[in-house]
Structure 1
Amino acid sequence: MTDMIEDPVLPAAFVPTPTREFNAASANRSAARQLIRPALKLVRSTDDKSAAGPAIPIPIPPLPIAFGSRALIYKQDPSVTEIGLRRVLLRGLFGIGPSNNRIHLAGVPPVAPNSMNDFVQAPDTAAFDAVHTFSIVHLALTMCQRAVGAVIKWQWNSGANTDPIKVFPHAGVTMNAFYSRNEKALKFFFFNKPGAPTPAPVIFTCRSLDIVAHECGHAVLDSLKPGWLSGTGNPQTGALHESFGDLVAIFLALSQLDQAEALIVQTKGNLHNKNFLSDLAEQFGLALGRDNGLRNADNDKKLSQVTSEVHDLSQVFTGGIYDILADIFLLERNLGVTGEDEALTLVKCAQYVFRLVLRAIHAAPATNATFANVVNQMLVIAAADGKPVGYRNAIRNQFTAREVVVSPTPLTQDVSDDDVFEAVDHPFLTVKENGLQDRSGCCGTMRLREHQFDERYLQEELDELQGGIGGEDDPHQQFDHAEAAE
């Protein structure tokens, strides 16, 4: 049996431990509240509060039982010093592992909560990696569920199957991370930094919020759109899958006020200045000799400037959504003098844009979806939400500039409710006959053999076999046998 990891001794700054005096004072305050509560339940039935009269009991609803555990995580990549290590509060009831009904850890010793039911572990240890990976998956899933307003089942869940997803923080040695539908798992690997002198630093993909959130995004989207993961569909469908993983990472970062505030400070409110949000998986990218992570969400790529390779293609959609976020934030922050704090404004804008994207994806076709399908759904939903026309202008303008849709009206005019946005024809983005999507530049999820084809592909081979020549039923073969017998 795997040994359980006990809490190491951490500096007081990591875990606020209540003193004996604090506990005593807290108990006194709780007792005082109990004395006050009965008095609040009685209100006289007459207007004269001093007059005698029957007391009318007013029920006070019981306080909800709120479970929560604190955890220490990297709120970006370990290399992003602007954010670094922060504590987060995970809402829910968690068991040893940590674990809950939706997420189970595997391949690492389970971590026990401390006496305060917290999972705060020393950084860069196996216990920390377990807690960090669980926390990011939990936070990403929670964000997606809030966006659609419903519980999202894993792809294999049904009325009788409630199996959790298995998460492997230390799945093995390779430069990879992936989601596997067949294994019902998220797997994160580690590797030595290429070209570094011995002993080379070890890069753990599970320590990157971007990478963990990205792979969790694949799992969530596979549940909502199981027909999108096959390699036999439109390349843009595969690109939407890859892009959605990046968008989950971006919007998970922006769901946290401290990250939004750090981003505002770093960019002075201009999201097109170089920043840690648009650079994805920085530590992994630096290990490969790059200067901006594995991907850059703040790009200007058009469909005519990319190939049909799914990862390359995905950057067009990701960049378009990033620009829409920047445009909507610019619209809203202009009210900042009399409105809200800029960081809070950014968080709210990000929440809406992510909700918009996820609902549009949910409403898109079950198979062979295109960027234009999702864009048109975004426009319809934004109008139904009663958002300012500037929101829809941003959506139309950005994806028209990226050659995704054709606008029937000039971009200098407001979007009309009657506008229909046709997809731009890009012949090179169609599936080759009997071919698969080019996923050579994608993450491990899109390159897994199990996600490259589906049963329809196997059926095509069987149909071809039945119509082939040769075999015992072939009349030419029977004639040859007869000649041989003579």
Structure 2
Amino acid sequence: MRHIKRRAVRNEGSRFLLYPQPPFLDNFAEPEIVTVSSPAGSIGPGPSDDRMYAIHPVGKELQYGFHTSDGGEPIMYLPPWRGGIIAPALPDEWGHFDHLTPGTPQFETAHLFGTARFALDVWERYFGRPIPWHFADDYDRLELSVLPTLANAIIGWGFLETGVVRSEEGIPRAFSMNFDVIAHEIGHAIIYSEVGLPDPETDNAEYFGFHESAADLVALLASLNFDSVIDTVLRRTSGNLYTVNKLTRFAELGDHEQIRLAANDRVMSEFASGWSDEHHLAQPLTGAMFDILVDIFHENLLDRGLIPPEMEDLSDRLEGDPDYGAVLQDDFDVLFAQNPDGFKMALLDARDFMGTMLADAWRLLRADTLTYVGVGEALKTIDGQMTGGRFRRIIEGNFRIREIGRFIPGPRKPKKGAVSHVYSARTMVPQD
């Protein structure tokens, strides 16, 4: 059984200022000091280290990916960027980057680098080893770049480019400032390395949904490595995590705009006749994973004597019921107030158990044969190794609620505006 490692403060690491959630959200308007694993003094201008480097190109109009030459021939545009760049972020005399001023290009590139490094650090801890890049045959390092002409953020063969999107009010939101978005893209790279790249010829719907779900989980658990996120979530919910809150939102564009919810009620029968968007197809699996996390959190609370058995039983019976929050919120409010530190430790333990279990389970999967049922079987295998099967019932129950195994996705349905990562620069591989 592999030991679950709790996050430790690395005094020998390098400090950055990061926004755990987009800075336009009320509770996260100020950046926080975090420490990444690269030793102080080892990160150079950019920032740059042995795994990645950040730049703000000057005069770069095209994003990396497939393009067409003037002669009509397809060309593959890949890093490195060889043109000019805005002056790089520089470390202070001690080798840290937490002295940079928000709103400057140097802070932006440092935030992009620090976020990517932080997310990778979290998941290398869960894997218990370094995670190689899926593009390592061609590049030793990931190029992180700011490209304002890109209305997206995308990771691909040797690059992660972040652009800008505008809110409904027309306010520009830079993806380089969005922890969830960057961590989500790092999640894609982790899955491509550990599980494999998709084969567009096979059109494996469940792999397409899985890699979106896994990337969301990478971002979710990485964000829970900020004390401020944990504290805000618990303060707002008193530990009733099925309440819609910052924990269950990904890539928010505003307080009332959100791309996906982890705490969703989607089931596989909705996709039995077909699907058009892997982000939607991912939701039953993501929802099952979120529910497993919450159930393990509840088991931890019960183990610590922080909630009574009858409350945990009622929570299980009400799972998926729209009245869940209303029925249990008063009890959560009373019990959380009695021991907020105990609730926090229970959530931290659930976070780290879930991260370790997912990392070990993903290593059992292969892209060409992946199914949602197979994901569940891998989780049960690892739970058996870690706990002797304590959470088998929880895993099976949550997969059953999502109708995983009862229904499989139907054929892909072309839909205007639906964007697939499988047929994009994310998964392109240079051909010899």
Q: Do the aligned partners of residues 258 and 335 (structure 1) sit closer, same or farther apart at CA in structure 2, a change above 3 Å counting?
A: farther
Look up the SS of the partner of 1:259 in the other structure.
helix
Q: Which amino acid aligns with 1:296?
A: L
CA shift digits 1:283-322 (9 cap, x unpaired): 2xx3xxx824111111011001245231110111111101
C-alpha contact (below 8 Å) 1:79/1:282 kept by paired residues: no
Q: Does 1:277 align with 2:247?
A: yes
Q: Do the aligned partners of residues 234 and 297 (structure 1) sit closer, same or farther apart at CA in structure 2, a change above 3 Å counting?
A: same
Displacement of 1:388 = 5.8
Q: Does 1:104 align with 2:74?
A: no
C-alpha contact (below 8 Å) 1:311/1:441 kept by paired residues: no
The CA distance in 1 between the partners of 2:167 and 2:346, in whole Å, is: 39
C-alpha contact (below 8 Å) 2:20/2:226 kept by paired residues: no
1:334 alignment partner in structure 2: 302
1:481 alignment partner in structure 2: none
CA shift digits 1:137-177 (9 cap, x unpaired): 1011112211111111101225xx66100001x21323211
TM-score when normalising by structure 2: 0.75
2:163 alignment partner in structure 1: 189
Q: Does 1:71 align with 2:16?
A: yes
Q: Do the aligned partners of residues 454 and 243 (structure 1) sit closer, same or farther apart at CA in structure 2, a change above 3 Å counting?
A: farther
Look up the SS of the partner of 1:87 in the other structure.
strand
1:217 alignment partner in structure 2: 187
C-alpha contact (below 8 Å) 1:254/1:346 kept by paired residues: no
1:295 alignment partner in structure 2: 260
Query: What percent of counterpart residues are identical?
Result: 24
Q: Aligned ranges for residues 80-479 of structure 1 at < 5 Å?
A: 80-84=25-29, 85-92=31-38, 93-106=42-55, 107=57, 108-120=86-98, 121-158=100-137, 163-168=140-145, 170-181=146-157, 184-194=158-168, 196=169, 200-228=170-198, 230=200, 232-283=202-253, 286=254, 291-306=256-271, 307-308=274-275, 309-337=277-305, 341-387=342-388, 389=390, 391-404=391-404, 423-426=405-408, 428-430=409-411, 441-442=418-419, 445-448=421-424, 451=427
Q: Which amino acid aligns with 2:394?
A: A
Look up the SS of the partner of 1:325 in the other structure.
helix
CA shift digits 1:69-105 (9 cap, x unpaired): 2211111122332233211112223112111100111
CA shift digits 1:396-435 (9 cap, x unpaired): 111101110xxxxxxxxxxxxxxxxxx3243x43569xxx
The CA distance in 1 between the partners of 2:415 and 2:125, in whole Å, is: 33
The CA distance in 2 between the partners of 1:213 and 1:264, in whole Å, is: 22
Q: Which runs of 5+ in 1 are unaligned?
A: 1-64, 405-422, 456-486
Compute the RMSD of aligned alpha carbons. Answer: 2.7
Q: Do the aligned partners of residues 388 and 332 (structure 1) sit closer, same or farther apart at CA in structure 2, a change above 3 Å counting?
A: farther
The CA distance in 2 between the partners of 1:72 and 1:453, in whole Å, is: 34
Q: Which amino acid aligns with 1:74?
A: Y
Q: Do the aligned partners of residues 450 and 137 (structure 1) sit closer, same or farther apart at CA in structure 2, a change above 3 Å counting?
A: closer
C-alpha contact (below 8 Å) 1:279/1:292 kept by paired residues: no
Q: Do the aligned partners of residues 450 and 165 (structure 1) sit closer, same or farther apart at CA in structure 2, a change above 3 Å counting?
A: closer
Look up the SS of the partner of 1:95 in the other structure.
coil
Q: Which amino acid aligns with 1:186?
A: L
Look up the SS of the partner of 1:243 in the other structure.
helix
C-alpha contact (below 8 Å) 2:163/2:174 kept by paired residues: yes
The CA distance in 2 between the partners of 1:388 and 1:368, in whole Å, is: 25
Q: Which amino acid aligns with 1:397?
A: G
The CA distance in 2 between the partners of 1:387 and 1:97, in whole Å, is: 47
C-alpha contact (below 8 Å) 1:230/1:454 kept by paired residues: no
Q: Which amino acid aligns with 1:133?
A: L
Q: Which amino acid aligns with 2:368?
A: T
Displacement of 1:336 = 3.8
The CA distance in 1 between the partners of 2:34 and 2:162, in whole Å, is: 21
1:478 alignment partner in structure 2: none
The CA distance in 1 between the partners of 2:15 and 2:427, in whole Å, is: 36
Q: Which runs of 5+ in 2 are unaligned?
A: 1-9, 58-85, 307-338
Look up the SS of the partner of 1:399 in the other structure.
helix
The number of residue pairs the alignment matches comes to: 352
Q: Aligned ranges for residues 5-44 of structure 1 at < 5 Å?
A: none
C-alpha contact (below 8 Å) 2:156/2:428 kept by paired residues: no
Q: Do the aligned partners of residues 77 and 229 (structure 1) sit closer, same or farther apart at CA in structure 2, a change above 3 Å counting?
A: farther
1:55 alignment partner in structure 2: none
The CA distance in 2 between the partners of 1:320 and 1:276, in whole Å, is: 18
The CA distance in 1 between the partners of 2:349 and 2:410, in whole Å, is: 35
The CA distance in 2 between the partners of 1:229 and 1:104, in whole Å, is: 29
1:21 alignment partner in structure 2: none
